[in-house]
Each structure stands twice: as C-alpha cells, then as structure tokens.
Amino acid sequence: MQQPWSRGSRGLPVVAAALLVAAGSSSTSGAAARTVPRPTGQQAAHCRALHAELPTTLAGLERGTPRPVSEFTAAWGHPAVLLRCGIPRPEVLTVGSKSFDRYAPVWETGGVKWFVEQPPGGGVRCIADHRAAFVEVFVPKEYGGDGTGQALLDELTAVIGATIPEGYV
C-alpha cells in the first residue's frame, strides 16, 4: 500500500489510503470535543454559503445537529463525520510555527486541495486548503475501510468547490 504521507499532489485514492490506515486506529473520542469556529467577514460569508448547500445525507449518512448549534458546523452519521468551516490556519501549514511542515502533503481532487493527517486519537482529519476559508472534515475510523470515507469526501469536495472560492486565508 502506498504511504499516505508521501510528498506531492495526488488524487483521492491516496486520501482513501489514509482513510483505510485510519480504520485501524483506536479511538474517536477527540472528535466530540472540537470547538465551533468563529470566522468573521468574508470567511464567515463563505461558510454560511457552504452551510446552506450542505446535503441532508452524505454518503448514505443522515445529517444530525452538532452541539452547540452553529452555521459553521455540520455532522452526519453516528459516530459523526464532523465538518467545521472557518477554522484557523493549522499550525502545520503556518510558516514560523513550531510544527510548520514545508512539505506537508496536499492532495487535489475535484479542484479542491486537501491536507490530510491522522490525529493521535484515530480517524482522519482532512482540511480543504487553498480556499478563501479553511474547511475541516473529521472522518471517524469507522468509515475508513468500507468506502464511505472516500464517498463523503467526493460529495463534500463538490459542495466546497462550488461555495468557497480558491484563495488564501
């Protein structure tokens, strides 16, 4: 199996490989503790546009209501696939931060570039990069091995590409 953390732009099959690796991870406990983003100005406007277009089902998972309720978050399924729009720039992508990685892997699919990482608690954290607002999608380990993870990223890529223009935050 190809290493999901190799350098360079790749298509969604590499993201799917990361999801498969995550399927063996141990826990999703950190997902529930994610905070609600607080974007302002144009980023907030882009996130509201995204929120208005998000589907009621995603790869067969029913949309729920994350708590606290916010127009900058969404969730599908149980355990929940979580979306947060307007998150701050990740440190790994921030020049000058302790964890900055000049060679952080970014994969492109459907015109959206995704930074993908495996958090210590399990699952996969995907961040739509090179957009006018950062969008984070946390995929629990339970969806890594059955094709659901890849299908939901395919669906979200289309909506993100249509509502959040290319740009830099």
Quote the pLDDT of residue 105. Answer: 77
Quote the pLDDT of residue 62. Answer: 96
pLDDT band at 3 (very low <50, low <70, confident <90, very high): very low
Q: What are phi and psi of 125, to 5 degrees?
A: -105, 120
Let me know: does 133 contact 43? Beta carbons within 8 Å.
yes
Angle between helices 12-22 and 148-163 (to 10 degrees): 130
Taking only the tens place, the pLDDT of each residue in 77-130 is 999 999 999 999 888 888 898 988 888 778 888 899 998 888 888 888 999 989
Taking only the tens place, the pLDDT of each residue in 11-64 is 444 444 444 333 333 333 344 447 999 999 999 999 999 999 999 999 999 999
Quote the pLDDT of residue 16. Answer: 44
Q: Which residue has the higher pLDDT, 152 or 22?
A: 152
Quote the pLDDT of residue 4. Answer: 33
Return the number of other C-beta atoms located less than 10 Å from residue 80's C-beta: 20
